[in-house]
Protein backbone atom coordinates (compact mmCIF):
# COMPACT_ATOMS: atom_id res chain seq x y z
CA UNK A 1 0.00 0.00 0.00
CA UNK A 2 2.85 2.38 0.69
CA UNK A 3 3.96 2.36 -2.96
CA UNK A 4 0.42 3.09 -4.14
CA UNK A 5 0.07 6.00 -1.72
CA UNK A 6 3.47 7.38 -2.72
CA UNK A 7 2.30 7.26 -6.31
CA UNK A 8 -0.90 9.12 -5.40
CA UNK A 9 1.09 11.70 -3.44
CA UNK A 10 3.37 12.27 -6.40
CA UNK A 11 0.41 12.71 -8.75
CA UNK A 12 -1.28 15.13 -6.35
CA UNK A 13 1.90 17.22 -6.16
CA UNK A 14 1.58 17.53 -9.96
CA UNK A 15 -1.98 18.92 -9.75
CA UNK A 16 -3.82 15.66 -10.45
CA UNK A 17 -7.29 16.29 -8.99
CA UNK A 18 -8.42 12.69 -9.61
CA UNK A 19 -5.54 11.41 -7.47
CA UNK A 20 -6.53 13.84 -4.71
CA UNK A 21 -10.15 12.65 -4.90
CA UNK A 22 -8.95 9.06 -4.57
CA UNK A 23 -6.81 9.99 -1.56
CA UNK A 24 -9.78 11.75 0.02
CA UNK A 25 -12.03 8.74 -0.55
CA UNK A 26 -9.55 6.39 1.09
CA UNK A 27 -8.52 8.51 4.05
CA UNK A 28 -11.61 10.53 4.92
CA UNK A 29 -13.39 7.76 6.90
CA UNK A 30 -10.30 7.08 9.00
CA UNK A 31 -9.65 10.77 9.70
CA UNK A 32 -13.29 11.38 10.66
CA UNK A 33 -13.22 8.39 13.04
CA UNK A 34 -10.02 9.73 14.57
CA UNK A 35 -11.29 13.32 14.95
CA UNK A 36 -14.53 12.10 16.53
CA UNK A 37 -12.54 10.62 19.40
CA UNK A 38 -12.26 14.10 20.86
CA UNK A 39 -14.52 16.42 18.83
CA UNK A 40 -18.24 16.65 18.23
CA UNK A 41 -19.34 15.30 14.86
CA UNK A 42 -19.71 18.64 13.05
CA UNK A 43 -16.44 19.95 14.52
CA UNK A 44 -14.67 16.75 13.42
CA UNK A 45 -15.93 17.21 9.87
CA UNK A 46 -14.78 20.85 9.85
CA UNK A 47 -11.29 19.91 11.03
CA UNK A 48 -10.85 17.00 8.62
CA UNK A 49 -12.08 19.04 5.67
CA UNK A 50 -9.63 21.80 6.65
CA UNK A 51 -6.79 19.29 6.69
CA UNK A 52 -7.61 17.96 3.24
CA UNK A 53 -8.03 21.47 1.90
CA UNK A 54 -4.59 22.28 3.27
CA UNK A 55 -3.12 19.20 1.57
CA UNK A 56 -4.50 20.38 -1.77
CA UNK A 57 -3.39 23.99 -1.26
CA UNK A 58 0.12 22.85 -0.33
CA UNK A 59 0.30 20.01 -2.86
CA UNK A 60 3.47 21.36 -4.48
CA UNK A 61 5.41 20.75 -1.26
CA UNK A 62 4.26 17.13 -0.76
CA UNK A 63 7.07 14.60 -0.48
CA UNK A 64 6.16 11.14 -1.90
CA UNK A 65 8.89 9.58 0.27
CA UNK A 66 7.19 10.68 3.51
CA UNK A 67 4.16 8.70 4.77
CA UNK A 68 1.09 10.81 4.11
CA UNK A 69 -1.03 8.81 6.57
CA UNK A 70 1.12 9.96 9.49
CA UNK A 71 1.07 13.55 8.23
CA UNK A 72 -2.74 13.47 8.05
CA UNK A 73 -3.05 11.99 11.55
CA UNK A 74 -0.73 14.58 13.05
CA UNK A 75 -2.49 17.41 11.19
CA UNK A 76 -5.93 16.28 12.35
CA UNK A 77 -4.67 15.94 15.92
CA UNK A 78 -3.02 19.39 15.96
CA UNK A 79 -5.97 21.14 14.34
CA UNK A 80 -8.39 19.41 16.70
CA UNK A 81 -6.44 20.61 19.72
CA UNK A 82 -6.34 24.14 18.31
CA UNK A 83 -10.06 23.98 17.55
CA UNK A 84 -10.84 22.93 21.12
CA UNK A 85 -8.68 25.71 22.59
CA UNK A 86 -10.30 28.36 20.41
CA UNK A 87 -13.80 27.14 21.28
CA UNK A 88 -12.99 27.16 25.00
CA UNK A 89 -11.46 30.63 24.79
CA UNK A 90 -14.43 32.11 22.93
CA UNK A 91 -16.80 30.53 25.44
CA UNK A 92 -14.81 31.92 28.37
CA UNK A 93 -13.78 28.49 29.62
CA UNK A 94 -10.02 28.85 29.31
CA UNK A 95 -8.22 27.74 32.45
CA UNK A 96 -11.23 25.93 33.90
CA UNK A 97 -11.16 22.31 35.09
CA UNK A 98 -13.29 21.38 32.06
CA UNK A 99 -10.63 22.82 29.77
CA UNK A 100 -7.88 20.87 31.55
CA UNK A 101 -9.88 17.65 31.27
CA UNK A 102 -10.48 18.21 27.56
CA UNK A 103 -6.78 18.85 26.96
CA UNK A 104 -5.82 15.71 28.87
CA UNK A 105 -8.35 13.70 26.85
CA UNK A 106 -7.06 15.10 23.58
CA UNK A 107 -3.43 14.39 24.44
CA UNK A 108 -4.38 10.75 25.02
CA UNK A 109 -5.01 10.43 21.29
CA UNK A 110 -1.77 12.13 20.22
CA UNK A 111 -0.29 9.68 17.68
CA UNK A 112 3.19 10.41 19.05
CA UNK A 113 2.32 9.58 22.68
CA UNK A 114 -0.50 7.08 22.80
CA UNK A 115 0.79 3.62 23.69
CA UNK A 116 -2.22 1.98 22.03
CA UNK A 117 -1.38 3.66 18.76
CA UNK A 118 2.30 2.85 19.20
CA UNK A 119 1.42 -0.85 19.57
CA UNK A 120 -1.07 -1.08 16.72
CA UNK A 121 0.49 -4.16 15.22
CA UNK A 122 0.14 -6.41 18.25
CA UNK A 123 -1.42 -9.74 17.32
CA UNK A 124 -4.34 -9.52 19.76
CA UNK A 125 -5.49 -6.15 18.38
CA UNK A 126 -5.23 -7.42 14.83
CA UNK A 127 -7.19 -10.52 15.83
CA UNK A 128 -10.03 -8.47 17.35
CA UNK A 129 -10.24 -6.24 14.32
CA UNK A 130 -10.13 -9.18 11.91
CA UNK A 131 -12.96 -10.79 13.85
CA UNK A 132 -15.02 -7.63 13.37
CA UNK A 133 -14.34 -7.74 9.63
CA UNK A 134 -15.40 -11.39 9.55
CA UNK A 135 -18.86 -10.42 10.86
CA UNK A 136 -19.59 -8.40 7.71
CA UNK A 137 -21.88 -9.92 5.13
CA UNK A 138 -19.83 -11.75 2.46
CA UNK A 139 -20.45 -9.15 -0.26
CA UNK A 140 -19.69 -6.21 2.03
CA UNK A 141 -16.51 -7.90 3.20
CA UNK A 142 -15.43 -8.61 -0.37
CA UNK A 143 -16.04 -5.02 -1.53
CA UNK A 144 -14.43 -3.59 1.61
CA UNK A 145 -11.35 -5.78 1.12
CA UNK A 146 -11.01 -4.90 -2.56
CA UNK A 147 -11.27 -1.21 -1.72
CA UNK A 148 -9.26 -0.82 1.47
CA UNK A 149 -6.85 -3.75 1.29
CA UNK A 150 -6.29 -4.25 -2.45
CA UNK A 151 -6.46 -0.51 -3.25
CA UNK A 152 -8.94 -0.86 -6.09
CA UNK A 153 -11.05 2.13 -7.09
CA UNK A 154 -14.85 1.89 -6.96
CA UNK A 155 -14.91 1.64 -10.76
CA UNK A 156 -12.35 -1.19 -10.75
CA UNK A 157 -14.34 -3.06 -8.10
CA UNK A 158 -17.54 -2.63 -10.10
CA UNK A 159 -15.88 -4.03 -13.22
CA UNK A 160 -14.28 -6.91 -11.32
CA UNK A 161 -17.54 -7.96 -9.63
CA UNK A 162 -19.90 -7.11 -12.49
CA UNK A 163 -21.91 -4.61 -10.44
CA UNK A 164 -22.55 -0.87 -10.67
CA UNK A 165 -20.37 1.76 -9.01
CA UNK A 166 -23.41 2.83 -6.99
CA UNK A 167 -23.75 -0.73 -5.67
CA UNK A 168 -20.08 -0.70 -4.69
CA UNK A 169 -20.60 2.57 -2.80
CA UNK A 170 -23.66 1.09 -1.11
CA UNK A 171 -21.68 -1.97 0.06
CA UNK A 172 -18.85 0.24 1.38
CA UNK A 173 -21.35 2.41 3.27
CA UNK A 174 -23.01 -0.69 4.69
CA UNK A 175 -19.64 -2.19 5.71
CA UNK A 176 -18.62 0.97 7.55
CA UNK A 177 -22.02 1.19 9.22
CA UNK A 178 -21.78 -2.43 10.41
CA UNK A 179 -18.23 -1.88 11.71
CA UNK A 180 -19.33 1.23 13.60
CA UNK A 181 -21.99 -0.87 15.33
CA UNK A 182 -19.51 -3.59 16.32
CA UNK A 183 -16.44 -1.53 17.22
CA UNK A 184 -15.83 1.38 19.55
CA UNK A 185 -14.74 4.65 17.94
CA UNK A 186 -11.18 3.93 19.01
CA UNK A 187 -11.20 0.40 17.59
CA UNK A 188 -12.65 1.64 14.31
CA UNK A 189 -9.90 4.24 14.11
CA UNK A 190 -7.30 1.55 14.82
CA UNK A 191 -8.75 -0.62 12.07
CA UNK A 192 -8.26 2.14 9.51
CA UNK A 193 -4.86 2.99 10.90
CA UNK A 194 -3.74 -0.61 10.42
CA UNK A 195 -5.15 -0.67 6.90
CA UNK A 196 -3.54 2.62 5.90
CA UNK A 197 -0.52 2.78 8.14
CA UNK A 198 1.63 0.14 6.47
pLDDT digit string, tens, across residues 56-81: 999 998 887 777 777 888 888 888 88
The Cα 146–Cα 140 span in angstroms is 10
Please state, rounded to an integer, the average pLDDT across all residues of the chain.
Answer: 75
Mean pLDDT across 171-198: 69
Range of the structural domain that residue 102 is part of: 1-118
pLDDT digit string, tens, across residues 178-189: 877 777 665 666
Give the count of domains, the chain: 2
The Cα 168–Cα 36 span in angstroms is 25
Q: What percent of the chain has pLDDT over 90?
A: 16
* 71 and 168 assigned to the same domain: no
* 98 and 50 assigned to the same domain: yes
* 14 and 104 assigned to the same domain: yes
Give the pTM. 0.52
pLDDT of residue 122: 47
Mean pLDDT across 163-170: 91
CATH of the domain at 29: 1.10.1740.10
Q: Are 158 and 167 in contact (CB under 8 A)?
A: yes
pLDDT at 120 over 80: no
* 174 and 114 assigned to the same domain: no
Amino acid sequence: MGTELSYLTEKISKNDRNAFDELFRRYYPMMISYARLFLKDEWAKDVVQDVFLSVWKNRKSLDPDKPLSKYLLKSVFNRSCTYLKVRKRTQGLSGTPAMAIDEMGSSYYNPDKNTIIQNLYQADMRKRLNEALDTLTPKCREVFSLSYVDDLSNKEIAEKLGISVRTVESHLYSALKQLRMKLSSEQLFLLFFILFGN
